[in-house]
Amino acid sequence: MTRVRRWLPGLLLVSPSIILIAVFVYGLLGWNFKLAMTDKHDEIAEIPGNFVGLENFTGIWSEERWGLSVRHSIIFTVVFVVGALVLGWLLAFLMEKDIRAESGFRAVYLFPMAVSFIATGVVWRWLMNSATGERAVGLNRLFHYLGVDFLQWQWFRDPDWGMAAMAIPAIWQMSGYIMALFLAGFRGVPEELREAARVDGCSEWGVYRHVVLPMLRPVTLSALIILGHISLKVFDLVVAVSGKQIITDVPATFMWTAVYDSHDPAKGATIASYIVLSVVVFVVPYLIWDARKGKRS
């Protein structure tokens, strides 16, 4: 009786969220995978959809648009994750030097976080206008005024590296947040350790290289996971900047087209499954690592 009294209230407390998550996250995830494995290529209710195994998952690779959107997604992810990590780290590094008005700077760099991707996209669509030369506006115009016309380019309309341009607003928005993470990480390194290193004759760079950076590894990993899953699911930013155009197609916009324009639920579910799987690939190693670490300590 007393044992029940110990765990029952706790269970009752969390059970609503367990049930809701079970139904609305895992239940619907399962439903989505089930749909992706059927041939329900029309949303008419009378077509039940027969089980076809992994046919949709393999078939989609023969579509040119899919290959393109995966390529775009990879370019975007690499540029965005690396860009935000490096910039965020750099900002934190500068901030850590006990500069004056630090909290003011911190707020300034964090503010973009408060803006939605849609608003960011609308502004950057204008900044990254592809017109060059006489007709340039936005950043291209700025380059013109600064006399660096050779920097003008097509931004997100560049057929090869357009998605790298698309990552710029995302970096702008998220690097402040990464900075905050890293700053917390820097502050978490005990001052005694640094002093010990210095006493042992370590240069300032060496202190960072051998003492601080290794201790930042968990923070870096968290930042990587956070950025990675945002990046693989990106939809709002792309739609706000360029709409549903092939030139900036990513899996999420392709999914929207498949569901709402082509009326092909199975294809939409297939793409959704791939997005989930790609995020899982990112997150699961982290969870395993985390669990192992928990055991060790």
Partner 1 sequence: MAAVAVSVAGLLTLSACGGGDKQESGGGQAAKKVEVFSWWTGPGEADGLKAMREIFAKQNANFEFFDAAVAGGSGDQARALLSSKLQANQPPDTFQGHAGAELQGYIKSGKLESVNFLYDELKLKEVFPQQLIDQISVQGQIYSVPVNIHRSNVLWFNPTVLKDAGIDGAPKTVEEFVTDLEKVKKTGKIPLSIGSQWTLVHLLESVLLGSLGTDAYNALWTANADWSNANVTKALENFKTILSYAGSPQDDWQPAAKQVADGEAAFNIMGDWAYGYFHNPPEGGLGKESHKDFDWAASPGTDGTFMWLSDSFTLPKGAPNRDGAIAWLKVAASKEGQDAFNPLKGSIPARKDADQSLYKDYLSWSLEQWSGSKLAGSIQHGVVANDAWRTAITDAVGLFQQDKDVAKFQQALVTAAKNSGQ
Binding residues for partner 1, rule: CB under 8 A, are: 42-46, 64-65, 68, 125, 129-132, 135, 154, 157, 159, 242-247, 249, 257, 260-264
Helices 162-187 and 102-110 pack at an angle, to 10 degrees, of 140
Rank residues 260 and 289 by Cβ distance to partner 1 and give the closer one: 260
**124-142 b/e (C-beta count within 10 Å ≥ 16 → b):** bbebbbbebeeebebbbbe
CA distance 221 to 227: 10
Closest separation in Å from C-beta 163 to partner 1: 13
Rank residues 72 and 186 by Cβ distance to partner 1 and give the closer one: 72
Judge whether 110 and 180 are in contact, CB under 8 Å: yes
Closest separation in Å from C-beta 63 to partner 1: 9
Residue 90 to residues 67, 87, 266, Cα–Cα distance (Å): 34, 5, 44
Closest separation in Å from C-beta 136 to partner 1: 10
Rank residues 98 and 261 by Cβ distance to partner 1 and give the closer one: 261
Closest separation in Å from C-beta 193 to partner 1: 53
Closest separation in Å from C-beta 242 to partner 1: 7
Rank residues 93 and 256 by Cβ distance to partner 1 and give the closer one: 256
What is the number of alpha carbons within 13 Å of residue 110 lying toward its C-beta? Answer: 14
Rg (CA), the chain: 24
Residue 146: CB partners within 8 Å, gap ≥ 6?
Answer: none
Rank residues 120 and 175 by Cβ distance to partner 1 and give the closer one: 120
